[in-house]
Amino acid sequence: MNILQKFDLRGRIALVTGSSAGIGLALAQALGEAGATVVLNGRNADKLERAAAALGESGLKVHTRAFDVTSSEATRAGVDDIERTIGPIDILVNNAGMQRRGPLDQFDEATWHELMRTNVDSVFYASKAVAAHMIPRKRGKVINICSVQSELGRPGIAPYTASKGAVKMLTKGMAIDWGPHGIQVNGLGPGYFKTELTQTLVDNAEFTQWLVNRTPSRRWGNVEDLAGAAVFLASPASDFVNGHILYVDGGVTATL
C-alpha cells in the first residue's frame, strides 16, 4: 500500500453526528470524497435529507439516520439500526455540539446541563454504542470534535470550555481503554471557523479584527480546512496515532 492508498476510505462506513450543516456536514463530505459511505445524523429529518441530497448530487454515497445523541437509548438503537441495515461502522465522528454564552455567576443550571448533555454525554453515548460493535471486530476509528477551547478560555464561555476540556480528556481515556482492541480514538480541534453558527462573530468587525490579529495565519478558518485532518484521522494513515488532539486553528494555540 503506497502512501496515497493509506488515505483511501473506499469500503468504509462513517457515522457523523450533528452533520446536517456546518462543520459536521463538511466533515461528512470530506470522508465521502475519500470514498467512505457516510451516514448523516441529527434530530431534524428534513434537514438531514436536504444535506444528503446535496452530497448525493456530487456522487457521494450517503444515508441519513435521525436520532438524538443526547439520549443513550435512542443512540444505541440508532447505531444498532445502522449496523443492521447499512453495515459495520468503521468511523465515528462525534461532532454534535452547542454553545451557550453568559457570565458564569449568572449561568442557568438547566442550560449548564443542556450544554453538558449535548457536548459531553453525546460523545460517551455514541462512542460506547459504536465501540460495542468495533471491539469484537478489533478495528475502528473514533474522532471526537474538540475545540481550541479544549485548551484556551474566553470571557463568557466557561461552561463550553469545561465541556470541550472534558471531551479532550475523554478522548485520551477512550484511546487508553480501546487501543488494545485495535481502535484509534483521536480529537480534532477546530479554531474559529466561518459557519452559520458563528456568522454573528464574523460580522462583528471588532471581533474579526481581534481574531485575525490573534491568529498567525491571519484569517478565519473555512470548513474545507478541516477536510485533510479528518480524512487522516479516519484512514489507515493514522493507525499508530492514538489519544492525540489535532488542532486546526491557524496557530491560535501556539501563541499568546
Residue 19 cell numbers, joined = 452533520
Q: What value does the CA radius of gyration of the chain take, rounded to a whole number of Å?
A: 18
Residues written for the chain: 256
d(CA 2, CA 151): 35
- How far is residue 94 CA from its own chain's centroid? 4
CA 145 – CA 235 distance, rounded (Å): 16
The active-site residue, picked from 125, 160, 192, 247, is 160
- Does residue 160 have an active-site annotation? yes
The residue with cell 490573534 is: 214
Q: How far is Cα 205 from Cα 3, in angstroms, rounded to an integer?
A: 43
Give the whole-angstrom CA distance, residue 172 versus residue 188: 12
The residues assigned a catalytic role are 160
